[in-house]
Structure 1
Amino acid sequence: MTERLLPILMLVVSNVFMTFAWYGHLKFKAAPLLLVILVSWLIALPEYLLAVPANRWGSGVYSAAQLKGMQEVITLSVFAAFSVLYLGQKITVNHLIGFALIAAGAFFLFKAPVSA
C-alpha cells in the first residue's frame, strides 16, 4: 500500500511548492522580477526533491502515462485550492468543466485497454 500512496502524497506536496513558486508572486506584483525569479527557484527546489523520487518510485507501480495523468489532476486540484484560498480568485463553472475533462482523461489512463 505504501508503494502506491507514497508517490501520490509526494506529488501532492511537491505541487504545493511548485504552485507557490509559479503563482505565489502574483500577490507581490511590485517586487522586482529578478527577485521573484530567485525566490521562485528557491521554492521550486523542494518540489524537485519530492517530484523526482515520487516519479522514480511511482514508476514501479504506475506507468509513465498514469503518473503524468495523476500529476495533472493533482496540479489542477492544488491550483484550484491555491487560487481560491491564497489569491482570492473565484473558480467558475467553466473552470470546473475544464478541470473535469482533464480528470476524465486521467481516468482513462487507469482503465484497461479497449479492444478493437
Structure 2
Amino acid sequence: MNTLTALPLSLQTIALLVASNVFMTLAWYGHLKNLATAPWYVAALVSWGIALAEYLLQVPANRIGYQQAGFSVGQLKIMQEVITLAVFVPFAVFYLKEPLKLDYLWAALCMVGAVYFIFRSA
C-alpha cells in the first residue's frame, strides 16, 4: 500500500490538489523568471508541458473528491482557490522575489468567508 492511498479520501484529495497547484503555479508563472528572454511561444510550450503534470494530479483529485470523498463541485473549487493562494504567495515572495503585501492577507480573509459559506451546509 502506498502512502497516498493510506490517507483518508478527503486528505488524498487535498494532497493531490496541493501537488497539482505547485505544478500549475510553476507553469503559469515560472517562465517569468526562468524563460524571461525566451520567445513567448517557447515559454508557452514549456508551460504546457508542466501543466500536463498539473492535470495528471488535478483530474484524479477532483474525481476522488467528488465521487468518493463526497465533496460538492463548489467545495472542490473553493478548496482549489484557497490552495492556489497558499501555494502562490510563497512562490511569488520567495521565488519571484515579489514583495509580501498586506493585500494577500485580505484576500485570504475573503477566502475564509468563501470557505465558510460553501461548507456551512455540509
Query: TM-score surpassing 0.5?
Result: yes
- Matches of 2:53 and 2:72, distance apart in 1: 24
Question: CA offsets, 1:85-115, max 9 Å, x none?
Answer: 11011221122102220232122211127xx
Give the Cα separation in 1 of the matches to 2:82 and 2:112. Answer: 6
| 2:104 match | 95
What is residue 78 of structure 1 aligned with on the other side? 87
Q: CA deviation at 1:80?
A: 0.5
Unaligned runs of 5+ in 1: none
The total of aligned residue pairs comes to 113
Q: CA RMSD in A?
A: 1.3
| Residue 35 (structure 1) aligns with | 42
TM-score, normalisation: structure 2 = 0.87
TM-score normalised per structure 1: 0.91
Q: Are 1:14 and 2:20 counterparts?
A: yes
Letter in 1 for 2:42: L
Letter in structure 2 aligned against 1:80: V
CA distance in 2, matches of 1:80, 1:103: 16
Q: Following TM superposition, where does structure 1 have runs of at least 4 consecutive aligned residues deviating by more than 6 angstroms? A: none
Identity %: 50
Letter in 2 for 1:103: V
